[in-house]
Structure 1
């Protein structure tokens, strides 16, 4: 059993014109052999895009293979385009899943009409490699102080067995019980929460292993993202 706090201020970061990215795990040139992933979760990036600073704020077209790429938009809107013919504007409060499979190219840039964009993107290893690429976009769930599955379970399909992304929007003083799955990644996307004596602020995360029954209490209005893994 373990519960480890990872401060948002300790994340490595990358700044290019119009984009600031914070990496929760070892990523690209920011190599950390002690922080390569958490179960099937191998990337958890927090991106802030500013279209007023660049004509293309975000990620121009680039390739991926054998990844489940799950994006949750926190602010503004993100324009997704891929080589399978999908083009969607993903507004705040919606999730998308791109299953790269045998290979896909995509771009993700801020929708300049919506101003600044912030999103969190996770990469997971698929359970069955070799699938054809696929894409899914979810409807915005109503705000809830309960943890709602936006990917996995009743949310968008993910090609990683037992993985699900849960979201809760908590007012100050509200509490929510975490799932009982053996592996959980709890991220304060906004606001601040308390978890059994640990205080989490914007960008902080806790990784739980075999720690069922934990309760999170918001100390400020908070958007909480929880990756939970049953397998």
Structure 2
């Protein structure tokens, strides 16, 4: 059992306080400042700059648009997401899958919902790379349900270990689903901070109940315990500490 002394300090980012956008074909909730939503208190967290909870209607999507010097990935929760880019890549990623793009020196891409009658829901996430001007690239990953059932599965890392996607960002990303009496934990090292994002359901993190859309910033090293899930799906970002 954790005591107050070994539980790291945290800051809650409640779902209902996020920036909201409704464009008809797109409904989006912004954990950090994005597009027309600007809040100087929420400009990002270490290398993590964007978490958008996006729902795109059937047959709709983002037409071709450019990016540079960001690591951008989509974590698909429901439905399917189709990607095309100026590098010649094209794929359809379904629920449980990840599509990942190193924008680097510049790339143009589109994202569409290939279904005409079912929405797609995904988390759109942007990370700052350690160096600018990298060669653009594209990767995908299918995460089987059993790989993240009751445990934190590594999906993105700098060295691509355990079959994860390679990133140029000073970050590692884990995914987990928890229900019932399942419990998992993560030991945050010195010089790191973490962000826990609840994608669906409800889960307890170090004794604090979080629900869909909530984010939790973990400010110092220590044990992060996830438990008491109710149809919960979460992403955990292990981030190099950039700020003092």
TM-score, normalization by structure 1: 0.93
**2:16 match: secondary structure:** helix
Q: How does 1:140-155 map to 2 (within 5 A)?
A: 140-143=143-146, 144-152=149-157, 153-154=160-161, 155=164
Aligned match for 2:133, one of 130, 133, 137 = 130
Q: Provide structure 2 residue ranges, at least 5 long, that are not aligned to the other structure.
A: 1-7
| Separation of aligned partners in 2, 1:167 and 1:63 | 28
Matched, 1:159 2:159: no
Which of 217, 239, 242 aligns to 1:229? It is 239
How many residues are aligned here?
A: 226
| Cα offset, 1:113, TM superposition | 5.7
Q: For 1:26-45, what aligned pairs fall within 5 Å after superposition?
A: 26-45=33-52
Please give the alpha-carbon distance, in whole angstroms, between the structure 1 residues aligned to 2:55 and 2:49. Answer: 20
3-state SS, counterpart of residue 121 of structure 2: strand
Answer yes or no: is 1:98 the counterpart of 2:101: yes
- Which stretch of the first structure deviates more once superposed, 135-144 or 28-37? 135-144
Could you tell me how far apart the structure 1 residues matched to 2:99 and 2:217 are?
A: 23
Q: Distance in 1 between matches of 2:21 and 2:85?
A: 24
Q: 1:172 aligns with which of 180, 194, 218?
A: 180
Q: CA deviation at 1:140?
A: 2.5
Q: Partner of 2:63 in structure 1?
A: 60
CA distance in 2, matches of 1:80, 1:93: 16
Indicate conservation of the 8 Å contact 1:172/1:222, yes or no. no
Three-state SS of the structure 1 residue aligned to 2:222 is coil
Distance 1:122 1:167, change over 3 A: same
By how many angstroms is 1:197 displaced? Answer: 3.0
Offset of residue 114 of structure 1: 7.4
**Deviation string for 1:112-166 (max 9, x for gaps)?**
16722110011011111111110001133342211001111521011113x1110
Structure 2: how far apart are the matches of 1:4 and 1:66? 28
Q: 2:178–2:229: 8 Å Cα contact kept in structure 1?
A: no
- Give per-residue Cα distances to partners, 1:83-107, cap 9 Å, x unaligned: 1111100111111210000111111
Q: Helix, strand or coil for the counterpart of 2:213?
A: coil
The answer (yes or no) to whether the contact 1:3–1:211 under 8 Å persists in 2 is: no
- What's the C-alpha RMSD, in Å, of the aligned pairs? 1.5
Counterparts in 2 of 1:114 and 1:216: CA distance versus 1, 3 Å: farther
> Could you list the per-position Cα deviations for residues 185-207 of structure 1 after superposition, in whole angstroms to 9, with x for gaps in the alignment?
10111110112332101111101
Q: Give TM-score, length-normalised by structure 2.
A: 0.88
CA contact (8 A) 1:22 1:46 kept: yes
Work out the CA distance in 2 between the residues paired with 1:208 and 1:35: 15
1:22 aligned to 24, 29, 40, which one? 29
